[in-house]
Structure 1
Amino acid sequence: MMSHSINLDRSHTPQGPSDRFAHGLTRLLRFFADTLFAKHYAHRAVVLETVAAVPGMVGATLQHLKALRHISDDHGWIRTLMDEAENERMHLLTFIEIAKPTRFERWLIILAQGVFYNLFFLLYLISPRTAHRVVGYFEEEAVVSYTEFLAEVEAGNHENVPAPRRAIDYWHLPPDARLSDVIVAVRADEAGHRDVNHGFADHLSEQ
């Protein structure tokens, strides 16, 4: 798991049209998320994490096919992206236990995943660099959202419920861990994904 002391304030300044597109798309989707969910952070997490688990799987698949076509080493990208997808899926399963999504949110999950998967797949085919930059910016916003969620819990505006057993086992949390501990762990994961994807985008921009 990612260290919880990871830098939470890091952000990438857009450089060039590709970065500006990625940043603009992220800000647009953030606006829709804020409008739809407001301060219902646990429910926001349920819907957004099902989308967040898509890029890693798409990237791993396409990097795998690229490595086969070129008969070349992937230099660890496939495993890293697969691990990212698995980690985001664990986020989703954890928050489903906490938020208990409504039928509407379950339908929204299906719609969001179907639309986002196809659009991201197409984007990755066209420009892997832009795709990774999008994810980097998504993760920057995720860090902000989980920081706001943590503040709401610590202020008493959301009940600091016991952490699900799944989360305790996955993040090796103490037996008496609460929601706030889960948020800290998830936020650290997202910060790690942010750094990895910005790093991948930087590497691709140098080629």
Structure 2
Amino acid sequence: MTRRVLTVLTNVGHYDDPGHPTGLWLSELTHAWEVFDDHGFEQTLVSPAGGHVPLEPRSLKFPSYDRTAKDWRADPAKMALLESTLSPDQVDSADYDAIYFTGGHAVMYDFPDSEGLQRITREIFERGAIVSSVCHGYCGLLDTRLSDGSYLIAGRRLTGFAWQEEVLARVDKLVPYNAEQRAKERGALYEKAKLPFVSYAVVDGNLVTGQNPGSAKETARKVAALL
């Protein structure tokens, strides 16, 4: 039976200051897409509002702008997928074996408050299917509660973009909150690599998380191994 992965992307194109653009960190989609495609998985894109997904300009520069990202932008059919993402109310969680939250700072704004994404994530997680994220994608897990009212991430090992990495990326003054701190406040057992920006991924049962853009392939491989 073909496995199906639901990949979550952002609709937001800038920080609070419209003069600072952001959006999807493209390689966090393309690296995972290639891994899942190599395994024959069926992939579907969803976003909090549905429709258009803007790209983070910084993700279109070396080293993140690699072969997979260039190939995606050169493929009209692939780029068209970023104009027609589903909205959560169009998604039946029972159709998917895994959900994968991509990142980019934009997701800090529209992932946490999406009740539709929370519903899908809760339903997938509670039936033992896989919930996964990379980089800032874990912002989509911060406010998700299980049926018993507890936070999904409480008491579970995870990783995601570290505050140290925000500082080194010189966006610590632009981001709306400290995601690492917020995850810890919700009871997550947060981990990170010894060095910033190196690949690092954590598996805790059916929760799989990667720390930064360079972790997308490793995260996707761990998801694929579970599937």
Greater helix share, structure number:
1
Output the TM-score relative to the length of structure 2: 0.26
Output the TM-score relative to the length of structure 1: 0.28
- Pick the structure with greater CA Rg: 1
Higher RCO, 1 vs 2 (CA within 8 Å, ≥6 residues apart): 1
